[in-house]
Amino acid sequence: MVHVTILPARGTRSYLPKVLRLPNAIALGLLLGAVAAPPAALPGQSRLRIPTAELVREGRAKAELGDTAAALELLERATDQSPRDADALYWRSLVMLRTTELGLGDSMRRRLASKLLDRAADLDPDNPRYLLALGRLRLRTPLRRVEAERIFRKALAIAERTGDTAHVAEASRELGEVKRRRYLTGRDRRMYTGPNVFDPLQARERSRMHYTREFIEQLSIPISNVGDVDRIEAEEYFRRALRARPDDPASVLPLLDLLYDQRRYDEMLALIRGTITGRPAGAVAASPRVHLAEGLAAFRLQRLADAEAAFNRGIALMLPGDRDELLNLGRILRRGDSVRVAGLADDVRARTDSAYWEANDPLLATPENEARLEFLSRMAYADLHFTDEDMRQAGWRTDRAMILARYGEPPVVATFSPQVNADARDAIGRVITVWYYPRPEVEFVFSGPPAFNYASFAGNYRDYAEERREIAPFGLENLPLALRVDTIPVQVARFRGTTPRETELVVASAVPAGTLYADAPVDRSSLQLSLRAGPAGAMRLQRTDTIAVQLPAPRALSRTVAIPMRADDVRARLEAIDPSLDGAVARAQVDLPALRTDSTTLARALVSSDLLIARRIPSPPRVVRWPQLRLEPLGDLRLAQRDTFSVYWELYGLQPGANGRLEYELQVSVTILSLDRGPDPIIRFFGGVSDLVGLSPVGDDRLSMRFTRDEAAPTGPDDRQPELITLGLGTSPAGRYRLTVTVTDRRTARTATSQRDFAIVRP
């Protein structure tokens, strides 16, 4: 049984088709007979004859508006009254194909369209457009795609004989696409070396952690030079199409894809710019996809300014909906963050995007944001490589584009031929494509029909992609600059500035000079430090400094900088660069909530600054602010065993009594976060604890002390109360620790808590 679409009688107001179930032979006879003889008018119906050309014109107009049912009714009427009108037959077949999907379900519709085109070609044998449409129809027909190449060759021969340059370009392009698809199908192909076939479901079993790596390395071998002839012929066909019609994006884009595949980036730029230069207002210049490809090529050549300009041109030319979807951060965020971002207002989302890319920029000292350019290059590659007009598929909406956007182009790609073995499950009749990322040893597997540029997640890899997204939503392992950037340990603290509406931001750093200059072929150099700070997405350069370095460099260079900021949420970025040495770059970035010390806040709360851990200083007779104490903050927050250290912080909002004095209680505790037990795991926690301030063990993982203060209240408008204590943990084992200080105002019972993590390291 088959489904046959019967259009309603002309003159009715409904264009909804009716579907009847008929035996295959009867249905086929009805469909094929509809071409040879027009159906008789129903009793009581009259038919006003409209010129066939007018019916075709109206049908095409309806099709352009998306009203396919109405278009088909008009075009069927045109072929009924003029069965030898090739133009009517042609347009009716095209509109029918608009509603035809790939697969066996629409075989009857494709068969009728094929018969219409055959008749049109017989009536007008010197017009290649019928053969071109018939060839495209064959591409939609399973098991008959091989015929398409023969039909396109015939169309090309007719176009060349008649001097029809437009159809020469079209036929050459279609032949190029046939060859390109064949090349892509064979590229990265591997052959099994034994009876086992790659099984996507086994690859995800926990008991087979290295299944993919071992299969690629041990159970398969690459097939060399597969499809190279097809690639060369495809390139020549596309160039032939461009010679006939130079300003055709449909021929430029697949040629760019082939050039990119061969890493011929300079040729990509030459092709694009040569075409646009000759026709600055032409179709290629107006194509956003071409400009995205231009940005992709420029970025791979490390021409970052050119890449950014090209990407911006392409994005500006896109339709608003497509632009928003292409730039949507949701695909590279964790699911929860993606949902929250999607619910933001447009202006807030724009600020969020800016803050995100600022945070991911490897170096703010460079004028371009390499992380954003890498993301755009991934989306441009997905658009260039995976877009398929026949499948109505936008490349950046595919499953492969999802993984590409998050992790970049896979270092290892392996494709395996379709199988007939029923045990192969997802491999039955489908090409299996494996994307393998060796660095984290992660793979994603896709499957798709042979000879099509289409694939979706195989097995349970869609679920796995979501799991992996929560662990690593966005990676830059393929960005060389990101891999070269080292980390600067920093300790950042916030204190109230000269006014309650101002914050003093203190950044103490330990620049890893020993690592940056480990292999430097010089005996002296200079390191440039820059500090940027401000609201997320709008940081500004606050300070620059140059440090002379004498080699061999010390393990770390300590620097402390204090800058005034507005009392808002703040992001700070410290960068160290030696421009004379490749790879001598490091950075640190922190995000901090605002420190509120305004009168409204202090009227209802006690506020504590951040804790500042520093090298031990002698106890002063009177505690003053940290600069006057000459504190040396520890940028790396690393202490050796038996070290003692000083802790400084400030309190705001303590309420004096009638006697003008402050009474408050301090509770100080140190908690073990993790231990580096080393070769001797039987070390007693907190061994030989120093009792400089009365610390005592509490259980196995915590030290605590509690004591009170009775101090004269500060005079004048500044109510800050500076605090300083000295601690020592004796022979406590190496590991990570957390210092917590809780202050309670005994007059108001208000409390404030601050914490700071630090490490004790082995000698």
Could you tell me if residue 495 is inside a domain? yes
Query: Is 713 a residue whose pLDDT tops 60?
Result: yes
606 with 585, same domain: the answer is no
What are residue 35's phi and psi, to 5 degrees? -80, -40
Average pLDDT value over all residues in the chain:
87
Question: Which residue has 């120093």 as its token pair?
Answer: 690
User: Both tokens of residue 154?
Assistant: 């015939």
Burial class, 348, CB count within 10 angstroms (exposed 0-12 / middle 13-18 / buried 19+): exposed
Residues 603 and 744 in one domain: yes
Q: What value does the mean pLDDT take over residues 454-468?
A: 92
Give the end of a domain, one of 528, 563, 592.
592
Regarding whether 613 and 686 lie in a shared domain, the answer is: yes
579 and 618 share one domain: no
Q: How many residues does the chain have?
A: 763
Q: What pLDDT sits at residue 701?
A: 66
Q: Is 548's pLDDT higher than 60?
A: yes
- What pLDDT, on a 0 to 100 scale, did the predictor assign at position 697? 54
pLDDT for the residue 49:
78
Question: Tell me, what amino acid is at 33?
Answer: G
Q: Which has the closest alpha carbon to 759: 602, 636, 614?
A: 636
Model pLDDT, residue 678: 63
**How does DSSP assign 314-335, residue by residue?**
HHHHS-HHHHHHHH-GGGGS-H
Local confidence band at 200 (pLDDT 50, 70, 90 cut-offs): confident
CATH code of 531's domain? 2.60.40.10
Same domain, 677 and 761: yes
pLDDT of residue 577: 95
CA angle in degrees (0–180, nearest 5) for 298-304-306: 60
The whole-angstrom separation of Cα 436 and Cα 454 is: 18
Segment 650-669, tens digit of pLDDT:
999 999 999 999 999 999 99
Residue 315 counted as domain residue: no
Segments forming the whole domain that contains residue 579: 485-592
**Token pair recorded at residue 207:** 């008991």
Residue 459 included in any domain = no
Higher pLDDT, 481 or 470: 470
Residue 142 has pLDDT above 70, yes or no: no
Question: How crowded is the C-beta side of 294, counted as CA atoms within 13 Å?
Answer: 28
Give mean pLDDT, residues 404-433: 82
The pLDDT, as a whole number, for residue 8 is 38
CA distance 441 to 443: 7
Nearest to 710 by CA among 666, 662, 749: 662
Helical spans, DSSP H, in 634-747: none
Of 404, 590, 619, nearest in space to 508 by CA: 590
Are 763 and 646 found together in one domain? yes
Same domain as 531, residue 603: no
pLDDT of residue 731: 82
Q: Does any domain span residue 516?
A: yes
- Euclidean distance between CA atoms 257 and 385, whole angstroms: 6
Which DSSP category does 398 fall into? Answer: S
Contact 137, 114 (CB under 8 A): yes
Buried b (16+ CB within 10 A) or exposed e, 457-485: bbbebeebeeebbeeebbbbebbebbeeb
Which residues, in sequence order, are CB contacts of 125 under 8 Å at separation 6+? 158
Taking residues 233-242, what's their average pLDDT? 97
User: For residues 576 and 549, what is the distance between their CA atoms, to the nearest angstrom?
Assistant: 12
Of 592, 609, 624, the residue that ends a domain is 592
As a whole-number percent, the residues of the chain with pLDDT over 70 amount to: 87
Kindly indicate the confidence band of residue 521, based on its pLDDT and cuts at 50, 70 and 90: confident
Rg of the Cα trace of the chain?
36
CB 726 within 8 A of CB 684: no
Q: How confident is the model at residue 37 (pLDDT cuts 50, 70, 90)?
A: very low
Say yes or no: 508 and 649 in one domain. no
Which ranges of 367-445 would DSSP assign to H, the alpha helix? 370-386, 399-407
Regarding whether 727 and 631 lie in a shared domain, the answer is: yes
Domain count along the chain: 2
Per-residue three-class SS string for 255-275: HHHHHHHCCCHHHHHHHHHHH
On whether residue 473 sits in a domain, the answer given is no
H/E stretch holding 165: helix 165-186
Q: Beta-carbon neighbour count of residue 285 at 10 Å?
A: 19
Q: What would the 3-class secondary structure string for 64-115 be?
A: HCCCHHHHHHHHHHHHHHCCCCHHHHHHHHHHHHHCCCCCCCCHHHHHHHHH
Q: What is the mean pLDDT of residues 169-192?
A: 92
Question: If residue 361 lies in a helix (H) or strand (E), which one and from where to where?
Answer: none
Provide the pLDDT for residue 22. 37
Quote the percentage of the chain above a pLDDT of 90. Answer: 66
Q: In the predicted model, is pLDDT for residue 670 greater than 50?
A: yes
Helix ranges, 364-398 (H): 370-386
- Closest by CA to 50, choosing from 12, 87, 82, 19, is 82
Q: Is 464 contained in some domain?
A: no
Q: Do 668 and 530 share a domain, yes or no?
A: no
* 543 inside domain: yes
Which residues, listed in sequence order, are joined to residue 3 by a DSSP beta bridge? 21
DSSP for residue 473:
S
Mean pLDDT of the region 713-717: 83
Residues 735-763 have pLDDT tens digits of 999 999 999 999 999 999 999 999 999 87
Letter for the amino acid at 142?
P
Same domain, 505 and 639: no
Can you tell me the distance from the alpha carbon of 120 to that of 168, in angstroms, rounded to the nearest whole number? 19
Residue 731 lies in a domain: yes
611 and 585, same structural domain? no
